Amino acid sequence: MTHRIKFSIVAFLLPGMLYAQQTKNLSLNEAIQLGIENSKNLKRSQNKIDLAVSRLAMVKDEALPTATTSFLYNHAEIPTNTLVIGGGDPFQLPKRADAFVGTASVKELIYGGGKLKYAEASTKLLTEVAQLDADKDKEEISYAVINTYYALYKVLQSKKVVVQNLESIESQLKQSQRFFEQGIVTKNDVLRFQLQKANVSLTDLEIENNRKIINYNLDVLLGIDENTEVVPAEPETGSKTLAPLSGYMDMAFGNRQEIKQFDLNTKVADLNIKSVKANTLPTVGLGADLYYINPSGKFIPPTDQFIMPITLGANISWNIGNLWTNKHKVTEARIQQKDVGLQKDIFSDEVKKEVNKNYQDYQLAVNRISVLETSIAQATENDKLLASKYKNNVASAIDRIDAETLLYQAKINLEIAKADAGLAYYTLLKSTGKISQ
């Protein structure tokens, strides 16, 4: 009977045990690594690289000789097989005929104006562009992880302060109830503390709801079980020593994948111009052909009843019409190259504005920490003063609650400001094109 009871208890608790949340302690670097390893976007980026490499291989294949072969069997029925030419004697044809004809051909383009060379170089550059796309996606994934990680950290820090606030309010509520029983304060004072506790409890519920949403989003982003409760380590929230703004500008123009892509696309456009110009040049090719002609009608012909001629040849072709019809194509290719340069200039201006904004935002975030630390010191002193006055029945319950609310709000603001400063620093690094610096 005892064993049955134990088994029943285990069976009852098993579903809850199976679906219980896992807890995972993660540092920021570990979270970034997980996000990169499990990112579906990065896997898709790798597919794009593989596709570009495959296209490069196909372009290289175009430089190889081409070879074709064919074998033909032909049967003919000849109902009118008597032929008279010019009033001479009739010429008798067979009533039916069979023939086997085979061909084999090998051709090689010796010179095509350099178009194959330009196509190979252009495709190779586009492969590098695809690699830069993957690098850019990696930076985006890293930043998305950092952003969500800091968001979760801020929520947890806010929740910690709110819990402390609730404990303090509970203590104040008990004190006011004792004062009420002693006739020192009115029932209204007790009600105010109860109302404050209810309001802070609602805030705690909202924070917990946000935590669940952010935690779920982070689980998906990291590619881990969606029931995992992530416990972030305290990230680096202190201020970093900033280099001059010009230094971050130089890093941006040296690291940004988009700028490197514009440079590569300019080279591709230049190769495209050369390829279009190559249309005005002649092409030279070599070829060899083998023929098998067997009119005997037998698959294996008798001796001396088939021929196998072999031909070798060279050809030079030149579409001279391209000399005057190709110039507009060259003009179009040059306009496309110029447009790439203009796009780069426009993007460069956007990079300058982005880096400057993020640089100023980080400085603002650091300054906010300094101001909030001062406000906490002031709020702490004010809270102590009002706590003493309330105990001595000099201050009202409203004054006491306001002082305590200001203190805990200042604490929450400070924790959020520290996290915002850390995120602002990574945002600045992202705008330079390399988060891990």
Domain ranges of the chain: 21-64+112-281+322-431, 66-111+283-317
Q: Does position 7 have pLDDT exceeding 80, yes or no?
A: no
For residue range 120-170, what is the model confidence (pLDDT) as tens digits? Answer: 888 888 888 888 888 888 888 999 999 999 999 989 988 888 888 888 888
How far is Cα 351 from Cα 431, in angstroms, rounded to an integer?
7
Q: Does position 16 have pLDDT exceeding 70, yes or no?
A: no
pLDDT at 17: 44
* Residue among 357, 347, 143 at smallest CA distance from 245: 357
Report DSSP state, residue 82.
E
> What is the residue-averaged pLDDT of the chain?
84
pLDDT at 399: 78
Within 10 Å of residue 350's Cβ, how many Cβ atoms? 10
Within 10 Å of residue 13's Cβ, how many Cβ atoms? 11
231 by DSSP, 3-state: which? strand
pLDDT at 237: 57
Model confidence at 436, pLDDT cuts 50, 70, 90, reads low
- 115-181 helix and 40-61 helix, angle to the nearest 10 degrees: 180
pLDDT at 235: 72
Weakest-pLDDT range from 35-49, 217-231, 333-347: 35-49
* Residue among 377, 1, 17, 29 at smallest CA distance from 235: 29
| 168: its two tokens | 């303090």
pLDDT at 238: 58
Query: Is the C-alpha dihedral spanning 395, 401, 406, 411 positive or negative?
Result: positive
Q: Does position 186 have pLDDT exceeding 80, yes or no?
A: no
For residue range 235-277, what is the model confidence (pLDDT) as tens digits? Answer: 775 567 788 999 999 999 999 999 999 999 999 999 889 888 8
pLDDT at 18: 43
**CATH code for the part of the protein at 21-64+112-281+322-431:** 1.20.1600.10
pLDDT at 13: 47
pLDDT at 8: 47
Weakest-pLDDT range from 158-167, 213-222, 296-305, 318-327: 296-305
How far is Cα 362 from Cα 368, in angstroms, rounded to an integer?
10
For residue range 358-378, what is the model confidence (pLDDT) as tens digits? Answer: 999 999 998 988 898 888 888
Listed in sequence order, the residues at least 6 apart from 259 whose beta carbon sits closer than 8 Å to its beta carbon are 252, 253, 344, 347, 348, 351, 433
70 by DSSP, 3-state: which? strand
